[in-house]
Structure 1
């Protein structure tokens, strides 16, 4: 049986006992199975350790509401959907670097316990060693937000200072637009519309990093990016050429993106946008997106 793409429940030997892994099989190689859990976390089951395995339904019988996830866990999910080219753990934190391409891929994702008495110094050392500005992405008004402010860290002024994260449950999923194309890579034309690219190879490494990602386009007029990690879909990079705006293209990109996400196993979605981007918020509202939390970028003094 070809297991790739199937949801499975696997019990396997691990250490002195047994562990259960449930998720979608990304690859089945001679060395073992690579499985993506519901939250997008990746697990590896070595060959020869499987005790029992069965295929389970593509969608779980009981789904968790999108709004029920904590801000810290959602930060982990969003980070998996926009992976840096270099990722180093600092306890439960994630130090991310990608040659300066986007704040999300070049900041420390702050969630959980950093496992050190001096996380501030560890973040500074990591980014200065890579000739990057020390930067943290932090949930607004969280305990760590306050601690960084007390340590003298300040908001950035030369880039977007942060964003709101909105979530939605994928229930009544719209149909894909018949004129929209969903590719598995970012073409030169797609990157040109995205407009934030200085180095195409670095941008592609970040944008194409997840195992399940689609690059949506309608002609040479509108684009979007959709990624699926576990049960979550991440919608991003919805752009319409100025000459083609006010024709409903953005809505068609969103509809196609969410239809593609549902077809690839997602039952909830998130997006990130500026809190004062009222046209974008109005675009997403009919699809059920509501604000979950806000985050800010802080940099060392």
Structure 2
């Protein structure tokens, strides 16, 4: 049974932080799987901004070296101003690669922590995938974006930005959908294969059709596709509050790799 809540809080980060090479690799493939429109570096900090889409993964300050805390207060203010120029509140992504000095500064400045998330991985060679109906990926980005927005009930104004993000993904990608003539789109998932790693992105199931096995069906289709293309491991990111999704992923063999969260400061 999955452990949720306080038992899986960010206090657990320390038990995963010893495997920093894995964290660095998964962060790097995550950046390629969900590319921001603008990426700038300040030392080892990556400042990611995307004007047309609200995703925190596309709009955050991402520290990539626990020992990089030189002039931390000055650099944080400089990054905050870049977000301000975009009309956004500054957001910091805390992974095991973030300096404790930076995190203490965020606390001292009354930044708010939110969206505790776990990154999970699965050995595809060992995974026993359920025998479900297979779905082939589409290459029609526009059709996939329409389906994803419909399933998520997201604003149509996000379509141009989402289409641009997906079109900018450089590694081979599989766009999977389940739909029927009567109900339209029911489930979507994006699988990005980066060499031997397969990233699972944007897994969504229509709210009215949950608990019917559609999530398992479309996810196993994506994992089989990745395994046939010689991917050896799969990874994904899921909020700790999403208990049904975590339970599904654990049934398929996914296990915790590391945790992260975001910190936000409201615009001045």
Shorter chain as denominator, the TM-score bin is 0.7 to 0.9
- Which has more radius of gyration? 1
Q: Is the 8 A contact 2:64 2:97 kept in 1?
A: no
Tell which has more relative contact order, 1 or 2 (C-alpha 8 A, sep 6+).
2
Q: TM-score, normalised by structure 2?
A: 0.76
The one of 40, 64, 69 aligned to 1:88: 40
Count of residue pairs the alignment pairs up: 232
- 1:74 counterpart residue number: 26
Which segment drifts farther, 141-150 or 230-239? 141-150
- 1:213 counterpart residue number: 173
CA RMSD of aligned residues (A): 2.7
Give the number of the structure whose residues are more often strand, by fraction: 1
Deviation at 1:114, TM superposition (A): 5.6
Deviation at 1:86, TM superposition (A): 1.3
Tell me, in whole angstroms, the C-alpha distance in 1 between the residues paired with 2:79 and 2:110.
12
Correspondence list, 1:1-301, <5 A: 69-99=21-51, 100-112=53-65, 117=71, 118-139=74-95, 143-144=99-100, 146-155=103-112, 161-172=115-126, 174=129, 178-184=133-139, 185=141, 186-197=144-155, 198-211=157-170, 212-219=172-179, 220-300=185-265
Q: Is the 8 A contact 1:166 1:289 kept in 2?
A: yes
Matched position secondary structure for 2:137: strand
Q: TM-score, normalised by structure 1?
A: 0.68
Q: Is the 8 A contact 1:167 1:271 kept in 2?
A: yes
Deviation at 1:110, TM superposition (A): 1.6
CA pair 89-163 structure 1, distance change in 2 beyond 3 A = same
Which segment drifts farther, 212-221 or 261-270? 261-270
Tell me, in whole angstroms, the C-alpha distance in 2 between the residues paired with 1:176 and 1:217.
18
Deviation at 1:116, TM superposition (A): 5.6
Structure 1 spans left out of the alignment, 5+ residues: 1-66
Q: Is the 8 A contact 1:194 1:237 kept in 2?
A: no
Tell me, in whole angstroms, the C-alpha distance in 1 between the residues paired with 2:44 and 2:126.
35
Which segment drifts farther, 70-79 or 88-97? 70-79
Give the number of the structure whose residues are more often helix, by fraction: 2
Q: Is the 8 A contact 1:92 1:115 kept in 2?
A: no
